[in-house]
Amino acid sequence: MSTLDHLRNRDAILRISESEAENRAEVIDPDDERMIINMGPQHPSTHGVLRVTMELQGETVLRSKPVIGYLHTGMEKTAEDLTFLQGPTNVTRMDYAAPLFTELVYSLAVEQLLDIEIPERATWIRMLMCELNRMSSHLLFLATNGMDLGSVGMMIYGWREREEVLRFFEKVTGLRMNHNYIRPGGVAADLPDNWQADVREILDILPERLEQFDVLMTGQPIWRARTQGVGVITTEEAIALGATGPILRSTGYAWDTRRTMPYLAYDKVDFDIVVGTYGDTFDRYAIRLNEIRESMRIVEQCLDMMPKGPYRVEDRKVTPPPRARIDESMEALIHHFKIFTEGYKVPAGEVYTSVESPRGELGCYLVSDGGPKPQRMHIRAPSFVNLQTLPHMMHGGLLADAVAVISSIDPIMGEVDR
């Protein structure tokens, strides 16, 4: 209970409504040096449309409150109007930096309700694609984190490397982002011919580039001065606030769903959980940088161990028949028609599935009433929950460090607001 009391006594969260903050800003009391300012929602370093209402004393941040909802488009409501087959097109737009993970967690939930086992090759393709996606997401983080902290060159380098991965995604899925590639029952298409060469090329380019990042940032005194000891959070606080992913790992707690509660075939590959020590902005940066290296190890193993076989279940009630079969088989035509008009029915029930996204635990709570559309689809977005650590990390710090702290949480607003 001491953590709870500690969090409460710290008084880091500004618990006032928007209109109250507006009124408070107008009142100028010469004896009171505190003032309330708004950062965002259009500030370039707030990663989209995050607004932070902050109470300042001079340059010190006292209390703060993340104000969100600017990107809220009711995607959970939309999901209730889409069939289970159409579902991934919707959820993939939530975390636009790591779309494959949301598709994956949704598909896992549907598959668990359907009680179907997906082929081994589909599992390994999912794992390969997700690890590549983790790399591209972390590279995007390195780019924006560098930009936020004044290393503008890093922005270009991060995006350049990310593009290498996205080019491969375009080849496999047809799209750079919002792939709709992982679907209930497997994946949308098999890997293209000679995919190994493309993946090898990415794996060949990256190590050298990551070392350049080390030179550019990790060892730099300015970089260290701006990140070390900034935005510190302890393990107990992170757990109490529900923070997962790099934020929890930066405190030294080795929690990674891939290892601790394995899904897909993560129990068959060899990789390390990267943890920090101090729970500061530098640790969170270093964790993500090194997780790219760990993901590369997993991708390498996927290259060697990729099994042969079908890339989706052969159950024609769930996945459409091959295009060629439709011309010759009446049954295939009916299956095709049924799947794309009515959709397939999923047995009534409810299930919670979770995966480790680049930002933390990504969950999907899915309720089916036995029809072709979900009764309720809820995504547990890691960024949404992780944002709650922001006031605690910024409390007592300088206004200039607020940017570094926001950046280190790596929130994706599409996922926060859904």
Query: Using CB under 8 A as the criterion, which residues of the chain lie in contact with another protein when the complex forms?
Result: 4, 7-8, 13, 15, 17-19, 68-69, 72, 74, 76-78, 81, 112-113, 239-244, 253, 255, 260-261, 348-352, 354, 361, 363, 365, 367, 369, 375-376, 378, 380, 384-385, 387-388, 417-418
Q: Which is nearer to another protein, 209 or 376 (CB)?
A: 376
User: At closest approach, how far in Å is the CB of 406 from another protein?
Assistant: 16
Smallest separation, CB 399 to another protein (Å): 23
- The least CB distance from residue 56 to another protein, in Å, is 20
Write the single-letter amino acid at 320.
P
Write down the least CB distance from residue 255 to another protein, Å. 6
- Measured in residues, the chain has a length of 418
Considering the complex, state which of residue 169 and residue 384 has its C-beta at the smaller distance from another protein. 384
Q: Cβ of residue 217: shortest distance to another protein, in angstroms?
A: 31
Nearer to another protein, 151 or 386 (CB): 386
Q: To the nearest whole angstrom, how small is the minimum distance from the Cβ of residue 385 to another protein? A: 6
The nearer residue to another protein, 49 or 142, going by C-beta atoms, is: 49
- The whole-angstrom separation of Cα 95 and Cα 113 is 24
* 142: nearest Cα among 131, 132, 130, 152: 152
Phi, then psi, of 13 in degrees rounded to 5:
-95, 130
Give bridge partners of residue 182 from the DSSP assignment: 187
The smaller minimum CB distance to another protein, of residues 316 and 392, is found at 392
Nearer to another protein, 216 or 239 (CB): 239
* Alpha-carbon distances of 173 from 170, 312, 323, rounded to whole Å: 5, 15, 17
Q: How many CB atoms lie within 10 A of CB 249?
A: 26
Residue holding tokens 């030179």? Answer: 215
Q: Which is nearer to another protein, 198 or 236 (CB)?
A: 236
Residues 381, 319: Cα–Cα separation, whole Å:
28
Cβ atoms of residues 50 and 66 within 8 Å: yes
Distance CA 363, CA 325 (A): 36
Find the shortest distance in angstroms from Cβ 252 to another protein.
13
Give 310 or 349: the residue with its C-beta nearer to another protein.
349
Q: Report, in Å, the least distance between residue 17 CB and another protein.
A: 5
Smallest distance from another protein to CB 263, Å: 13
Nearer to another protein, 244 or 408 (CB): 244
Side-chain-side CA neighbours of 180 within 13 Å: the count stands at 9
Min dist. Cβ of residue 116 to another protein (A): 12
Peptide bond into 30 cis (omega under 30): no
Nearer to another protein (CB atom), residue 62 or residue 147: 62
